Structure 1
């Protein structure tokens, strides 16, 4: 008799998790009343008019709307999806020259048995980019480098993602020089741009230090016993073991030129962001230029360039498409007209609290709301027009309200399955979302406790504009 195969559910794939959330949100359009705020444009920014919420006719999602939302999510996320594919292709071209491996192996050689020092340096660098808001979407491009670093140190993919992604978000959690999130929130709250920067830098340093210490603890733990890795006996699910990571390597002149070309390309993009307001499309164009220039420097034929580029892009299709899948959830909430109702509910809950407790409730509410809307600037234009008058009524300094929004937006980005960036990063590294949450949730709790302390201090010291 042939044995019957056992059917087991196993850990659901990221797409399965997102689809289940999508269906749940569609069901909620039948339960939560539809409503909307009036909106007006102020200095080129569309903001919500406080106290303008009204209930409207229900616009519940049909079964067809669920699947249309997936398509519309892909269309809405197209710039980011194609950016991921282009970055993947460009890095494949760079890696084909051996420049990245040579640089990392040289770095490992010079920091032998000093893993924590290397991790700290990399995290500080990415956190600085995070405070400027220029790396949060582009962080996907550097995950392969983080994985190579982690493999060379004989750690796991969790560490590889953490030193890049958590490093960047330790900075983005305060983003004291980011015009799109902190800048937009302060503009809506009618505060001077980037005011309150001194206290925000203190918050940034504390959050970064807590993050580095947490990862250092995890590194020491798995160094002592590799089986204590969250990933168990498969530390790099999408990558085969490599013996060449410990060999001596020569950083050639060609390697140096390729790396200089990469740095110049990224520097040009950073300059363009601040000087000309460049966005994702310009970043994609820069990475195409980097790929072509790398091929010239590395003497790759046009056919080899195309082959390497599409091999790299092909490897990121899963991660790129998941961005659109995550966006489909927001599409359902917006089309079902329940997003504004959820915001109105937040405002109602916050009203009865005292100044300190009200600031904390604002923060927690933003953490929860960010699970639905993971776009930082998108969240700012939805919640800040509501939180600003609420802060005035509850005698909460407006700087505190801005910081409650910013930390609420930043902190839960590291667990929310609706974040296309997070899900793409995990897909590239081959880490299941459930395993990532198991690793990062204690850190999220640490961040949250620190956030509550800093907000309470901000209220008590009457944190002013400057």
Structure 2
């Protein structure tokens, strides 16, 4: 090979690297460095606080004062990462445990058997098949059980779409949108609702009844949109976004998905999962259980699953570790994101940022302030696509800002959750979205054209929810 060829090859590699999107960790580290630099620029300050009826320290508006600064040193940047990981260890381990337990459940074939049963029940009833599959995946999504793992089920979605003579967009939608509509209005997701409420210092998973209502309305609107599009291309394939090339890629390998007969062990495994989650929900509202008990419940579910499925203990452990490894990336990013807030708190500038935001938001009413939070979170999510990462960055600012703007912190949590969840389905920085589209062979521009109207529908609903929530003073705090 000549030197010229070698140079061209290197230049080609450089060009390819130049187009690579930055990893979420790289983005968060950039924000971490910015936070450290901000401690030298933004004046340090603090608010006075008082305890609410629920025992939470709430900011007293108008009490902000300047104090001595405490800028971050070089080593503080990296020490903050360690402290962020340590301070969020309970949540990190919960995510790892859920990932491992769900892998053991999947190994029994129970999830596939459930989907297969739905397919057979809804034979020749396309709209019912679409609705039921989306409902199943939305339940898993709202529990935080299957979010990133949804990628594994996209081949099944493509197979279903082919059988219904539709297109790859429908195949992606019934699986991906099903899971992410649940994730967007999360009810018991520890990574989003749980983490955000923990930061906001409000009771874990409080407000669940109202979130169930919002989840059902949003799910119904999403299913109606997907079914509308499905009926449109069923009548005339040319009206589809993919037109004369409904399946751009060859059928993906589904590894037997959608072909599993429902057996007694599958029913018992699904009952164990439902019973465990039911027990935990009861514990949260009756005995004030926390994330530690949630981890324990999932471990019990895993042992029960292994016994029912007759999985050897060594196989159970290896499967658990493999499953935990699949969510390790998302688990550790919680601590990485938290490190940014650690630096802001150590530099004593977090209250200064809150005060600056309060000055900007001062002309707005409580309702408009909450709506702006919702919209701003959606825009921020286009850059930081990690739900827990976004929570760690924005909730320490939004919770006290809600105090100042005189609406409950619970509404700030909901504004974050929907802002984070609703734009996930269109941001090109989402690894999950891009992987799903790659598997299905759907160009991003085509998907964007399909998904954007749905995002707008979600945002209209989200704004209505926030207006109602502020009007009823949805608490606590």
TM-score (norm 2): 0.70
Number of residue equivalences: 423
The answer (yes or no) to whether the contact 1:83–1:284 under 8 Å persists in 2 is yes
Judging changes above 3 Å, is the alpha-carbon distance between structure 1 residues 90 and 272 closer, same or farther for their aligned structure 2 residues?
Answer: same
Judging changes above 3 Å, is the alpha-carbon distance between structure 1 residues 285 and 295 closer, same or farther for their aligned structure 2 residues?
Answer: same
Paired residue for 2:96?
A: 85
- The CA deviation at 1:337 is 2.4
Residue 41 (structure 1) aligned with residue 59 (structure 2): no
Paired residue for 2:319?
A: 308
2:181 to 166, 177, 187: 166
1:345-424 matches, within 5 Å, as 345-353=356-364, 355=365, 359-365=367-373, 367-368=375-376, 371=380, 374=391, 381-388=399-406, 405=412, 407-414=414-421
1:256-271 matches, within 5 Å, as 256-271=267-282
Paired residue for 1:67?
A: 78
| 1:268-315 CA-partner distances (Å, limit 9, x unpaired) | 111111111112211111111111111112222222222222222222
Paired residue for 2:288?
A: 277
| Structure 1 portions without partners, runs of 5+ | 389-397
Residue 295 (structure 1) aligned with residue 306 (structure 2): yes
| 1:45-79 CA-partner distances (Å, limit 9, x unpaired) | 22212221112222333332222222222212211
SS at match of 1:153: helix
Paired residue for 1:393?
A: none
The answer (yes or no) to whether the contact 1:87–1:141 under 8 Å persists in 2 is no
SS at match of 2:22: coil
Q: Distance in 1 between matches of 2:301 and 2:349?
A: 43
Q: Distance in 2 between matches of 1:220 and 1:322?
A: 40
- The CA deviation at 1:92 is 1.9
The answer (yes or no) to whether the contact 1:40–1:48 under 8 Å persists in 2 is yes
Q: Distance in 1 between matches of 2:93 and 2:435?
A: 15
The answer (yes or no) to whether the contact 1:159–1:219 under 8 Å persists in 2 is no
- The CA deviation at 1:167 is 2.0
SS at match of 1:40: strand
Q: Distance in 1 between matches of 2:436 and 2:280?
A: 26
SS at match of 2:391: coil
- The CA deviation at 1:406 is 5.0
Higher mean C-alpha displacement, 423-432 vs 100-109: 423-432
- The CA deviation at 1:265 is 1.4
SS at match of 1:67: helix
Residue 21 (structure 1) aligned with residue 31 (structure 2): yes
SS at match of 1:27: helix
Paired residue for 1:328?
A: 339
Paired residue for 2:261?
A: 250
Q: Distance in 2 between matches of 1:379 and 1:136?
A: 26
1:43-192 matches, within 5 Å, as 43-112=54-123, 114=125, 116-121=127-132, 135=142, 137=144, 140=147, 143=150, 147=154, 150=157, 152-154=159-161, 155=168, 160-170=175-185
- The CA deviation at 1:328 is 2.2
- The CA deviation at 1:91 is 1.8
The answer (yes or no) to whether the contact 1:162–1:215 under 8 Å persists in 2 is no
SS at match of 1:47: strand
| 1:180-218 CA-partner distances (Å, limit 9, x unpaired) | 989999999xxxx97xx99x9886665444444455567
The answer (yes or no) to whether the contact 1:35–1:54 under 8 Å persists in 2 is yes
Judging changes above 3 Å, is the alpha-carbon distance between structure 1 residues 183 and 203 closer, same or farther for their aligned structure 2 residues?
Answer: farther
Judging changes above 3 Å, is the alpha-carbon distance between structure 1 residues 63 and 57 closer, same or farther for their aligned structure 2 residues?
Answer: same
- The CA deviation at 1:386 is 0.9
Higher mean C-alpha displacement, 114-123 vs 404-413: 114-123
Q: Distance in 1 between matches of 2:183 and 2:73?
A: 39
| Structure 2 portions without partners, runs of 5+ | 162-167, 381-388
SS at match of 1:245: coil
- The CA deviation at 1:445 is 4.4
| 1:380-433 CA-partner distances (Å, limit 9, x unpaired) | 742332121xxxxxxxxx6xx77863542232222789xxxx98977997999x
Q: Distance in 1 between matches of 2:373 and 2:342?
A: 21
